[in-house]
């Protein structure tokens, strides 16, 4: 019985890890897409409408781009 619980727990952990990894991958893709749109000169509000990310998040990403360009 304890072996079954152990295996079930491992399977659940692997499943959760895959879900979390996929979520993180999607987040990174949206951030990269946002950076590309901002670099192409799209307004923050337009980027927000396309990506559905909050304007505040896009402003932070824009500041990060500007900071990296100044260094």
How much is the average pLDDT of 9-36?
86
Q: pLDDT at position 47, please? A: 96
Q: pLDDT at position 32, please? A: 93
Domain of 23, CATH number, reads 1.10.10
* Domain with 64 in it: 2-70
C-alpha distances out from residue 18 to 6, 12, 25, 28, 49, Å: 18, 10, 10, 15, 29
Q: pLDDT at position 1, please? A: 60
For the chain, what percent of residues have pLDDT higher than 70?
A: 96
Q: pLDDT at position 4, please? A: 65
Structural domain count of the chain:
1
């Amino acid at each position: 019985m304890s072996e079954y619980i152990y295996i079930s727990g491992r399977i659940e952990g692997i499943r959760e890890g895959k879900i979390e990894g996929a979520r993180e991958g999607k987040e990174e893709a949206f951030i990269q897409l946002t950076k590309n749109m901002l670099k192409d000169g799209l307004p923050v509000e337009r980027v927000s409408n396309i990506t559905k990310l909050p304007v505040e998040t896009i402003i932070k990403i824009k500041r990060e781009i500007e900071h990296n360009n100044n260094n």
